[in-house]
Amino acid sequence: MTPSHRNGATPGQIRDFIDHGFLRLDNAFPADLARACLDALWARIGPDPHAPETWTEPVIRVPFMASEIFDTALNTPLLYRAYDALVGPGRWIPPRQPGGFAIRFPSDADPGDTGWHVDASFGEGADYMDWRANVTSRGRALLMLVLFSDTGPEDAPTRLRAGSHRIVARELLPHGEDGVSLRALAADGFATSASCTEIEATGAAGTVWLCHPFLVHAAQRHRGRRPRFMAQPALLPAGPFDPGLPPSPVQVAIREACGLAM
């Protein structure tokens, strides 16, 4: 579980990603750009950054931010090299308008969204629990955790179960291309991954955690003093899974976990 590298990912980091399911990139985008994004998010949500008495909700969600500064944050040369290293050159779509912002405030209240889960990647309908995931990770190349504020252990960092992506891959394998709904996949609360080592996605503003699409993760209550601003976009694949291409590290992790020939 090594730190980030200026070239995107070292061979050791790629091996760590295959084994543990994540790569942390420090300084993935500049601190001044993170501050500009933070100011835009504060302006969007309403509470006063200098008046904690206005922080009345444990979590505020923003569906998307259609602004060039957010696109810039997710499209730096370092991130491009990392996308290439983990997904494969030409196999991903440059991210635009990152969505799924989760802004967590210090609070004793239960935010109501701290259960362990994976993110479904394809489906239709308004009920996200009916969306599906399959063993080729149709519709998602990576899960990204993008930190726009400094995030320490008390600041509600996302919890990650290291190695859980391999367990989920084995559970998806029997369901083939159709996959399985998130509702069915979560029926046991992801108890099969409970013994995995728990890692917290901490880091300075500008840090990006690139995670395997099957990595089991969870939010937690904010116990610190500074609001935490994070986006959780998907890196989208450029096309459907092509078994004729050399397997990417994302696919190597799946194939190793399922005992499939390389």
φ, ψ of residue 249 in degrees (nearest 5): -55, -35
Concatenating the DSSP letter of every residue in 71-131 gives: HHHT--HHHHHHHHHHH-TTSBPPP-S-EEEEEE---SS--S----B----B--SS-GGG-
CATH topology of domain 31-47+55-258: Jelly Rolls (2.60.120)
List the pLDDT tens digit at each of the 262 positions of the chain.
Answer: 444 455 678 999 999 999 999 999 999 999 999 999 999 999 999 999 999 999 999 999 999 898 899 999 999 999 999 999 999 999 999 998 777 899 999 999 999 999 999 999 999 989 999 999 999 999 999 999 999 999 999 999 999 999 999 999 999 999 999 999 999 999 999 999 999 999 999 999 999 999 999 999 999 999 999 999 999 999 999 999 999 999 999 999 999 999 986 5
Residue boundaries of the structural domains of the chain: 31-47+55-258
**Using one digit for the tens of pLDDT, what is the confidence trace for 60-91?**
999 989 889 999 999 999 999 999 999 999 99
